[in-house]
A and B are shown apart, each in its own frame.
Chain A
Amino acid sequence: MEIIFMLIAASFLVAITFLILFLISMRNGQFDDMHTPSIRILFDNNTKTETKLENGKSGDINS
């Protein structure tokens, strides 16, 4: 039954990882706008990619 110790530790680790990932993405503004990205994904445009990368950082400056 000692394996349960291991299992608890493992499940805990996984859960905490996801919690931290959620908090980080929240902080970076991933959930600020839930609507626009759903439209943005429909634009088939290649020149947009470079500006996209820039946008990822916008949260740091604004917050």
Chain B
Amino acid sequence: MPLFQKTVSTVCYHCGEPCREGSVSFENYQFCCSGCKTVYEIIENNGLCQYYDLENSPGINLTGISNSKTWQFLDDLKITRQLSDFMSDNLTVVSFHIPTMHCSSCIYLLENLSRLAKGVLSSDVNFLKKEITIKFDPREISLRRVVETLSSIGYSPEISLNGFENRKTSKATKHVVYQIAIAGFCFGNIMILSLPEYFDVKSLLTENFIHLFRYLNLFLIMPVLFFSASDYFKSSWNALRHKHSNMDVAITMGILGLSIQSFYDVLAGIGGGYFDSLSGLIFFLLIGKFIQQRTFQALSFDRDYKSYFPLAITRVKGEESKSINVNDLMLEDEILVHNKELIPADSILEKGEAFIDYSFVTGESRSVLCCEGDMIYAGGRNQGSILRLRVIKTVSQSYLTRLWNNKAFNKAEETGVSKWATQLSNYFTVTVIALALITGIYWKIHNPALVMQTVTAVLIVACPCVLALSIPFTFGQIMSILGKKGMYLKNSQSIEKLAAVDTIVFDKTGTLTVSDNIDNTFNESLSNEERQWIAATASQSLHPISRMIKGDINGSENYPITNWEETIGEGIRATIKGNEIKIGKRDFVSGDIPEEFDNEQGSLGKTYISVNGIIKTGFAPIQKLRGDIKDIAGKLKGRFQLYILSGDNDSQRKTLSKYFPYENLYFRQSPQDKLVFIESLKESGKNVMMIGDGLNDAGALKTSDFGITVTNDIHSFTPSSDAIMDINQMGLLPNFASLARDTKKIVTGALVFSIMYNCIGLSFAVRGHLLPWVAAILMPVSSITVVLYTKLASMAAARKNKLS
């Protein structure tokens, strides 16, 4: 549109958006809207202009964000208590997640919150987690004021009933770090003290020294065994009690073998034992464990419906309206739902008409018109003016929330142990025990004095150290490679599930389509000025189609509009400069309809636009399919079975069948249908990957073997899933899948290494020649080579799959 090109040259000083007409200038700076100017003024008045020096245009444009959001519910003491970490008479500590935080300027501004709001004592930002911890004096400022201040400068916190569920995991990671620190400290010292054992230094050092060193080692190994290695003992004990074996059992066998032999050696005065190998082993194992536990801190993978719902809702009783917690909603309560708010419970529309966007629940892209007395389901989003509703089901009994009562949501969380590792270690354990027995029997016959020594030596050498290290290191590597490309896995075990996938099910709306777009571009017969008039008319309305029109035309001229009128369910009309503009249904936009607009699949659901009684254009809003859909489907077709489950109508069946097998397209699927469908696929022996976005896919995502949530903003709310993927990276999906498959090859490669080392070690051990220095060299060398190998192999695999 050539009309605007001349004005785009300047950008808003605050938010960096291009300044169009309607922009404001203030103190030599240009702002795209008055909202940005206001924020600038707040910042400027408080002497925080460094905000603009740290980054160019760091601000957040407030136009997209609804201002109707009230924080009234924060006055409720019950909610305040739930949200705060610490509360006393003169100090309250709260932590919020702030999704809009994006640069160093944000940190600067947020950490200087105390200068914007009196009563705030300090604020502390954790940038990676996008979290802010605020301390304030409740006598001087209320929680609501604090949040309102944040919100006024564009940093609205995300407040949900769930709170911060991932705090526990950080504690577990900390515990491992303590264990590593202790093990590393002891390992280093034991190595130094063991060194004399390997050389003939008796000529240099007296016997006393040797004994002192050995007993010091004995002393140093205690914290390693009883603190650092304690988790392995616990885990293998639990496994044995439930009569199955896991990797930790094999590790524990090695640890016990090493320590018994070493204690015996030292106490009997025979030799120095294997304390250095033992502490080194535990040290390396713990590092592997630490890497395995690393996750993407700022992302949340386990949200349930509660995260979606507003914390509080306005309840009306007689004349008085009060903000209450949604959980306190009772049957027959009357509530007010503002524009763009979610409806928290199934209810009945009391007055007027409403447009409800159910795309969140069903995937259906078109808004539904509801009339007085209609039932409105929870999860719908109000598109329009304030609604007055009567609650007929409580939040936990509502249609949407009932989905969560499905057993898929109650299935036991996985133990976090790698399936491959478990399988491999089972063989491993059995082989090692068999080998130890054979060795023992052999020496019992030939030289009974060597039985004890050789059996422990076999257990020591065969410890699956290499195996235990290779899996976490490989998974950690692959996970960070995927993360760099916009695919964030919940945990490293997800890689195995991803590798096993053979069937992929797509959701349509939001996953395969680009949201909010009109497929039909405006008719050429419209002049530029007419387009502007239409945009100006549409901009006054909150109806989704009006907003789409406005977005498509990108209008910004300010026209004096007169006679603007909206007939709900019909259309809008306005007069601009004496020209009458009408947008709406066919009957509303009276006048002759040129045939060219009428020949496409009937006129139902179409919107027409007329200027001065002449219909200029007609179109149906269709969601555009992704541009690269052909590429994605083409690459996946050969290796996977593809399905589409859409909650939407089947208007796009034809287009989609070009890329996907016709018989695998399913439309008008309710969330429950989707869940059941995935279940039936699984029952037929398929490993199903589900890719979806909305709450309507939540059940399917959870039921599937590997659920991926696609989203524009990885920090926004996403349903519980195994992975979160940046929607722009959809095209890389085939590469991700094949990288996961290659991971298995890398692990197998590491297994070959492990077997090789074990063969060398065992050849010493069964003959009774395992000297401490052989073990001390073999152990770290094998660990380091395996780590190097996994690093190089993962990098090679990434390059092969074009992900590096």
Report A1-41 CB contacts with B as 1/0, cut-off 8 Å.
Answer: 10011001000100110010011001000011111100110
Cβ of A54: which chain B residues have Cβ within 8 Å of it? 121-122, 135
Query: In the complex the two chains form, is A4's CB within 8 Å of B209's CB?
Result: yes
Closest beta carbon of chain B to A21's beta carbon, Å: 11
Cβ of A35: which chain B residues have Cβ within 8 Å of it? 127-128
Chain B contacts with A in 127-176, Cβ cutoff 8 A: 127-129, 133, 135, 170, 174
Distance, CA A50 to CA B636, complexed state (A): 58
Distance, CA A31 to CA B173, complexed state (A): 11
Cβ of B204: which chain A residues have Cβ within 8 Å of it? 1
- The segment from B111-119, B268-276, B772-780 found at the interface with A is B111-119
Cβ of A43: which chain B residues have Cβ within 8 Å of it? 50, 54, 108, 111
Q: Is the interface of A mostly helix, strand, loop or mixed?
A: helix
Chain A contacts with B in 36-60, Cβ cutoff 8 A: 36, 39-40, 42-45, 47-48, 51, 54-55, 58
Cβ of A1: which chain B residues have Cβ within 8 Å of it? 204-206, 209
Count of inter-chain pairs, beta carbons less than 8 A: 77
Distance, CA A42 to CA B127, complexed state (A): 15
Closest beta carbon of chain A to B214's beta carbon, Å: 13
Cβ of B212: which chain A residues have Cβ within 8 Å of it? 5
Closest beta carbon of chain A to B11's beta carbon, Å: 24
Query: In the complex the two chains form, is B181's CB within 8 Å of A36's CB?
Result: no
Closest to A31 in B: B177
Cβ of A33: which chain B residues have Cβ within 8 Å of it? 126-129
Query: In the complex the two chains form, is B121's CB within 8 Å of A51's CB?
Result: yes
Distance, CA A4 to CA B208, complexed state (A): 12
Report B205-220 CB contacts with A as 1/0, cut-off 8 Å.
Answer: 1100100100010000
Query: In the complex the two chains form, is A51's CB within 8 Å of B104's CB?
Result: no
Closest beta carbon of chain B to A3's beta carbon, Å: 12
Closest beta carbon of chain A to B210's beta carbon, Å: 12
- How many residues of chain B have a CB within 8 Å of chain A? 38
Query: In the complex the two chains form, is B133's CB within 8 Å of A58's CB?
Result: yes
Query: In the complex the two chains form, is A39's CB within 8 Å of B104's CB?
Result: yes
Closest to A55 in B: B124
Query: In the complex the two chains form, is B135's CB within 8 Å of A36's CB?
Result: no
Cβ of A5: which chain B residues have Cβ within 8 Å of it? 212
Query: In the complex the two chains form, is B181's CB within 8 Å of A26's CB?
Result: yes
Instruction: Give the residue of B54, B86, B112, B188 whose beta carbon is less than 8 angstroms from that of A48.
Output: B112
Instruction: Give the residue of B93, B127, B189, B209 whose beta carbon is less than 8 angstroms from that of A39.
Output: B127
Query: In the complex the two chains form, is A42's CB within 8 Å of B181's CB?
Result: no
Chain B contacts with A in 9-59, Cβ cutoff 8 A: 50, 54
Cβ of A51: which chain B residues have Cβ within 8 Å of it? 111, 114, 121-123
Query: In the complex the two chains form, is A40's CB within 8 Å of B111's CB?
Result: yes
Query: In the complex the two chains form, is B86's CB within 8 Å of A61's CB?
Result: yes
27 contacts between A and B (CB under 8 A): A1-B204, A1-B205, A1-B206, A15-B185, A15-B188, A15-B189, A16-B185, A19-B185, A23-B181, A35-B127, A36-B107, A36-B127, A39-B127, A40-B107, A43-B54, A43-B111, A45-B112, A47-B115, A48-B111, A48-B112, A54-B121, A54-B122, A54-B135, A58-B135, A61-B85, A62-B86, A62-B133
Given contacts A33-B129, A55-B122, 17 further A-B contacts (CB under 8 A): A1-B206, A1-B209, A15-B188, A19-B181, A19-B185, A32-B170, A33-B126, A34-B128, A36-B125, A42-B104, A43-B50, A43-B54, A51-B114, A58-B93, A58-B133, A61-B86, A62-B133
- CB within 8 Å of A: which residues of B? 50, 54, 85-86, 93, 104, 107-108, 111-112, 114-115, 121-129, 133, 135, 170, 174, 177-178, 181-182, 185, 188-189, 204-206, 209, 212, 216
- CB within 8 Å of B: which residues of A? 1, 4-5, 8, 12, 15-16, 19, 22-23, 26, 31-36, 39-40, 42-45, 47-48, 51, 54-55, 58, 61-62
